Structure 1
């Protein structure tokens, strides 16, 4: 069980989502999940919603982030929270990396 608490730096485990976006699950337990999303310049995380709370931080790059109809331009070190059910999405203004935490975990990210 103790192995679920730690993960080493790696370039492994990416899933190509197409259209310039890649995702990889870094850590997960039923109550929470940490996921990285890598974006090419101009790539879009399309507007969507889900029942999970999401907390995200911009690790690299600049993004236009829209939550419930409000858009803000955020750069490295910025963060945001998406309430359950809120429609949200991003546009990468340059190559970038988002680190997202979901509660509870996104079971749909564990399939296939």
Structure 2
């Protein structure tokens, strides 16, 4: 078996502060796939942006106003959303919360 990590334990990676009230940590990845946790304080913004990766997000905690391709919807704990490659998207944390994002391929810019 290769040296690729197949398990990720809590606290194994450090948080990176992105903006006021917004942070992330890479949980685990392969060249083809990456899982990332984002933490938001109430009112924090994940600014509108786009990237070539396909993204699927799970709302682990909280409520978020999610905008994808100009359409906005509130997604709360237990909900999910998909962002196609190249589509502009962003979030606003309506409450304190956490998102678990999966990207394919992995986000080299997050390492």
Instruction: State whether TM-score is above 0.5.
Output: yes
The aligned residue for residue 66 of structure 2 is: 65
1:61 Cα offset (Å): 0.4
Query: Hey, what's the Cα distance between the residues in 2 that align with 1:72 and 1:52?
Result: 21
Following superposition of structure 1 onto structure 2, how do residues 25-104 of structure 1 map, counting pairs within 5 Å? Answer: 25-104=26-105
Q: Identify unmatched segments of 5+ residues in structure 1.
A: none
1:12 Cα offset (Å): 4.6
Please report the TM-score for the alignment, with normalisation by the length of structure 1: 0.94
Please report the TM-score for the alignment, with normalisation by the length of structure 2: 0.94
1:3 Cα offset (Å): 5.6
Instruction: Kindly report the root-mean-square deviation, in angstroms, between the aligned alpha carbons of the 2 structures.
Output: 1.2
1:11 Cα offset (Å): 7.2
Q: Secondary structure at the match of 1:108?
A: helix
Q: Secondary structure at the match of 2:43?
A: coil
Runs of 4+ aligned structure 1 residues displaced above 4 Å come to none
Query: Hey, what's the Cα distance between the residues in 2 that align with 1:4 and 1:35?
Result: 15
1:17 Cα offset (Å): 1.1
Residue 13 of structure 2 contacts residue 26 of structure 2 at CA under 8 Å; is this kept in 1? no
Q: Deviations over 1:48-77 (max 9, x none)?
A: 000000000000000000000110101000
Q: Between Structure 1 and Structure 2, how many residues are aligned? A: 110
Q: Secondary structure at the match of 1:65?
A: strand
Q: Identify unmatched segments of 5+ residues in structure 2.
A: none
